[in-house]
Amino acid sequence: MKAMILAAGRGERMRPLTDHTPKPLLKVGGKALIVWHLENLAKAGFKEVVINHAHLGSQIEAALGDGSQWSLKISYSPEQKALETAGGIAYALPLLTQNGSENAPFLVVNGDTFTDINFAKIKLSRNMLAHLMLVDNPPQHSQGDFSIDNGLLTNQGAPMRTFSGVGVYHPSLFAPIKRGDAAKLAPLLRQAILENKASAQYYQGVWHDIGTPERLQALNELML
């Protein structure tokens, strides 16, 4: 399975830190956020990673190179302007589905999260279009996003939980999107839910959404 790290966001809420540094290169415990993901992907057995970028993207490529220092092969999907989550994935599909992977699912990770999720244990079942990792709702997102009913992702239910930004997708989930168009992921997921083609699991381990300078500082203090 190939993996993609989403790294194209401008990081408006992280300003002024992101005025000169792309958010995935901000450091947690002395190491760039995106490097934690790369190390975990390599540990989980992944070999090929696609990274999209827009804002200050050249810094990301300069910092990570070809990925060989993590025994990974990194390919980049530069965007002239950020295409939102689904738009960015759709734009990168040629990289994610090349070399006989046209119908192979792939893992996607938000570049601005910090987690110890074991990427090797996330699978997409047959005939499913998406499988999401849900976590407890953080204070800034108390209403949650989705629920789980017998392993299926649902729009409503109790308890509602938050989408972690970690999921496995089938390429056909993104078929409705014209390559190069900006598009959000939620409408695609909600349509897959209506078709009973989205599953999920609840994760109770380490997960942090690094959305503001205050949250970044709090996590760094926690790691000390």
pLDDT value at residue 150:
94
Residue bearing tokens 């990168």 = 92
| Residues 46-92: tens digit of each pLDDT | 999 999 999 888 999 999 999 999 999 999 999 988 899 999 999 99
pTM for this one? 0.94
> Are the C-beta atoms of 33 and 210 separated by less than 8 Å?
yes
Q: Say if residue 22 is preceded by a cis peptide, omega within 30 of 0.
A: no
For residue 150, give every residue at least 6 positions away whose Cβ sits within 8 Å of its Cβ, in sequence order, or none: none
Least confident of 115-124, 154-163, 173-182, 208-217: 208-217
> Cα–Cα distance between 192 and 50 in angstroms, integer?
24
> Cα–Cα distance between 22 and 16 in angstroms, integer?
11
pLDDT value at residue 11:
67
pLDDT value at residue 170:
97
Strand ranges for 101-217 from DSSP E: 106-110, 113-115, 130-135, 147-149, 152-154, 162-169, 198-202, 207-209
Q: Where is pLDDT greater, at 210 or 86? A: 86
How buried is residue 198: exposed, middle or buried, by Cβ count under 10 Å (0-12/13-18/19+)? Answer: buried
> Cα–Cα distance between 57 and 35 in angstroms, integer?
15
Please give the single-letter amino acid code of residue 65: G
Superfamily per CATH, domain 3-223: Spore Coat Polysaccharide Biosynthesis Protein SpsA; Chain A (3.90.550.10)
How buried is residue 8: exposed, middle or buried, by Cβ count under 10 Å (0-12/13-18/19+)? Answer: buried
Question: For the chain, what is the mean pLDDT?
Answer: 93
